[in-house]
Structure 1
């Protein structure tokens, strides 16, 4: 499984990247990362997660060029491929003017133009950082509608970190809860396609073998009417 973290922080160091790293680490505590595949209690190897971080600050020029010439540069193309191929996403943006940053929105505009279904059905953990707790509604008023429009599966728990939240009680609990939701979805989706396929095959076979009580084939009904 592959986890991709998209960070739209601009400064170095960045509180946005710090939140992104803490979220990724929390997911990693629930699913093995970086090639480690411990054995669970039943002697079965657990799922392995590869984590990749996409720093949008480093792609700003290529994103702008993509809007003018229609072609992504090599680093932007690699980032798009990483996001498209991810089993789960963590997306974190700073709050500008009570919404996500222009760089953040521009990246996902480029992504949706290149592939409208890039995020369809993909679990996404949304997060944001800001200077005031008053901007926490950015998660529900801006980020959630954006990724719902892109047909992603947005996790119920979003994480917002204001300046006063760092080191305060409550942020760690939100991080852990959101990470647990993402890890659960990623682990479940890795086996869901085969389970769903087996269930569908069984349902079709059962329906083919059984007819509802009182069912009369159309041919017999038509013959009765003609008689």
Structure 2
């Protein structure tokens, strides 16, 4: 992304794992906050205040799986900041997802599961959105994205949809096409340029490479 000319900001909002329990507990009962998107917005504004080359009028987000959910939630919760998003394999409605995710963060509270549903808030979308999902995803079923797409259509919202036949959750074997579509979408909608023709160097899948996805 940096090689394409984007400023890249990656941070852990409150509630994300990998720190102490108190930090992680901020997510309990509040999966809808998507890892404290408020923290991300505050960080962007603080960073840009001292870096004039950061253009907060052209902010995008992209993510995979839970990050796909968070990408759509960023556009819904902070449309004044996030203008463009690419959501891959997102779990957009925890009422229809694995209970080990819904219950782990929101407990046995169907009302909380409903609050975290991007599907229920589809009519609020303002930014540019590309939804991507593998047709045979057995981790986050493709119906998550299809239900969101249906609600967006009902609300007469413009968006783009890429369903990859034969692809599972991580798009193994389809990385070139998925990445190119993601990069091209961000270039067109954030930079206002038509992407040049390019070809990604193929990456040969290996057990070591795949295991690094879960480090």
**TM-score if structure 2 supplies the norm length?**
0.39
Q: Relative to total residues, which structure has the larger strand share, 1 or 2? A: 1
Instruction: Give the number of the structure with larger relative contact order, counting CA–CA contacts within 8 Å between residues 6 or more apart.
Output: 1
**TM-score if structure 1 supplies the norm length?**
0.38
